[in-house]
Structure 1
Amino acid sequence: MGFASEIWRYHGQVNNTPVEAVAVLADAQRRGLFGFVRRVRRPVTREEAAAAVGISAKLAAFHLDKLVAAGLLRAGREGPGGLPRVGRRPKVYELAEVDIRVSIPERRPDLIAEILVDAVVTQQPGEDARAAALRTARERGREWGAGERARIRPGRLGPERSLTLTEATLDRAGFEPARTASGEVRLRNCPFHQLAAREPDLVCGINHAYLGGVLAGLEATGVDAVLAPRPGECCVELRPGPRPA
């Protein structure tokens, strides 16, 4: 799983951000419809949903389609309960496979947890726990960076384009990058803040390894991830590195 999907996951083609998805539930009728579908845990028709919250079927269809557009529900033509039906089957709605969490500023303790679990499962002979965690973090970072590169298809990257692409990638992940006058990129937000405050050596090491993996996956040349802790910010910054030979 990549970092950008981190805070939230949608299994499907949905482009909304977590905040936009949650905003859809600001409407009380929409919340009621969504709650009904969650309770029954099966496909429902607009008529069933309308009766459950006491509104017209037409209004229910409008709100249900908004929930589909937000990625919270999915729609189809399967009969309720899987029962066969003669003629045109009614449109039905059911829960989408969705996990949305909103955090401001962005926080990702789950990523650290996943890295540590994978490290325990894949720990190699002669490898201590810390080394396994750093190796796993690099692998996860490289996997995400490679996925972003495949999605964006930036072509060959020189140092400046590498820095710009990395900055944009980490911005989407909630690191809040900001380029300084001297050319470094400071990461103003630490997604692992609470854990880093508790175990800074371990968590900052994992973060450093992860971001180094991201740079490798992006094939970003002439950019280094460097440990440079400052209060209230991420412990890593991006610096222009030696130009490749």
Structure 2
Amino acid sequence: MEDPTLAAAAVLSDDLRRSMYGYIRRSDGPVTRDEAADSVGISRKLAAFHLDKLVAAGLLRAGYGRPRETGRVGRAPKVYEPADLDVQVSIPRREHGLLAGILLDAVRTQGPGESGRDAALRVAAERGHELGDAERKRMRPGRLGAERALTCVGEILERHGFEPARATPTLVRLRNCPFHPLAAKDPDLVCGINHAFLAGFLGGLGATTLNATLAPRPGACCVEFGAAIPPASATRSTGA
């Protein structure tokens, strides 16, 4: 699945499209093809081609304005206005919006006697569980063994910028911290939020054969995934 932000950035790499997009964003209202063409000095036909690319990338919305007052009946002109897509490209990928959302929800829902840190960890676990639950319903994986669960977890977290790497058949390390460089300002808090989010994610996914463990490493995510160690009582009951 193509990342819409990267696709939008690729479309904006063209100078003409970037100039027209900037002109439309600065305009007080919807812009016609003729106005967009005049803004960069190209033909209406060529402007229509570039405008359609911007619409396909989710950067613009197209609609129809009022017919021009020319004294005769005519078709309403096609007009363009900015869409809601916010283009921010970072390599490696960052998830500052996710962290900000967790902290905002923590402030809004902090209960009596609950510390700010505890509220943030609670909300992070809830957000992670929601993500895992949504993925579980989409994939319907059933009960997963540790190795298969690690594969599923890696595929999902790859889409969220964690850059998972299989260190052993039963261990996945995350090479990128999506919350960097904010994690450097308060590693105890941010790493705690990250751990709570990823542990909640495993819970929502139903990956009971895995554990999310805090294991800080320089330049990498502070959490890694490994096979859960069965309780001693369970091991004895199986005769191991």
Q: TM-score range by the shorter chain?
A: 0.7 to 0.9
1:74 is paired with a residue of what secondary structure? strand
In the alignment, does 2:155 pair up with 1:155? no
In the alignment, does 2:41 pair up with 1:54? yes
% identical aligned pairs: 60
| Corresponding residue for residue 117 of structure 1 | 104
RMSD of aligned Cα (Å): 2.3
Q: Which runs of 4+ in 1 moved over 4 A?
A: 242-245
- Once residues 161 and 213 of structure 1 are traced to their aligned partners in structure 2, the CA distance between those partners, rounded to angstroms, is 19
Q: Structure 1 pair 240/60, CA: closer, same or farther in 2 (3 Å)?
A: same
- Once residues 101 and 163 of structure 2 are traced to their aligned partners in structure 1, the CA distance between those partners, rounded to angstroms, is 22
TM-score of the pair, normalised by structure 2: 0.87
Deviation at residue 16 of structure 1 after TM alignment: 4.4
- Once residues 19 and 86 of structure 1 are traced to their aligned partners in structure 2, the CA distance between those partners, rounded to angstroms, is 42
**Pairs aligned (count):** 228
1:206 is paired with a residue of what secondary structure? helix
Deviation at residue 80 of structure 1 after TM alignment: 7.7
- The answer to whether the Cα contact below 8 Å between 1:137 and 1:207 also exists between their aligned partners in 2 is yes
In the alignment, does 2:209 pair up with 1:222? yes
Q: Structure 1 pair 167/18, CA: closer, same or farther in 2 (3 Å)?
A: same
| Corresponding residue for residue 209 of structure 1 | 196
Q: Gaps spanning 5+ residues in structure 1: where?
A: 1-13
Higher RCO, 1 vs 2 (CA within 8 Å, ≥6 residues apart): 1
In the alignment, does 2:125 pair up with 1:138? yes
- Once residues 80 and 102 of structure 1 are traced to their aligned partners in structure 2, the CA distance between those partners, rounded to angstroms, is 39
Deviation at residue 168 of structure 1 after TM alignment: 0.6
Deviation at residue 71 of structure 1 after TM alignment: 0.8
Q: Structure 1 pair 153/87, CA: closer, same or farther in 2 (3 Å)?
A: farther
Rg (Cα) greater in structure: 2
| Corresponding residue for residue 88 of structure 1 | 75
From 55, 60, 67, the counterpart of 1:73 = 60
Within 5 Å, which residues of 2 pair with 1:172-187? 172-187=159-174
Using the TM superposition, name which of 86-95 and 115-124 deviates more: 86-95
In the alignment, does 2:85 pair up with 1:126? no
- Once residues 178 and 121 of structure 1 are traced to their aligned partners in structure 2, the CA distance between those partners, rounded to angstroms, is 36
- The answer to whether the Cα contact below 8 Å between 2:67 and 2:75 also exists between their aligned partners in 1 is no
2:173 is paired with a residue of what secondary structure? strand
Deviation at residue 182 of structure 1 after TM alignment: 4.5
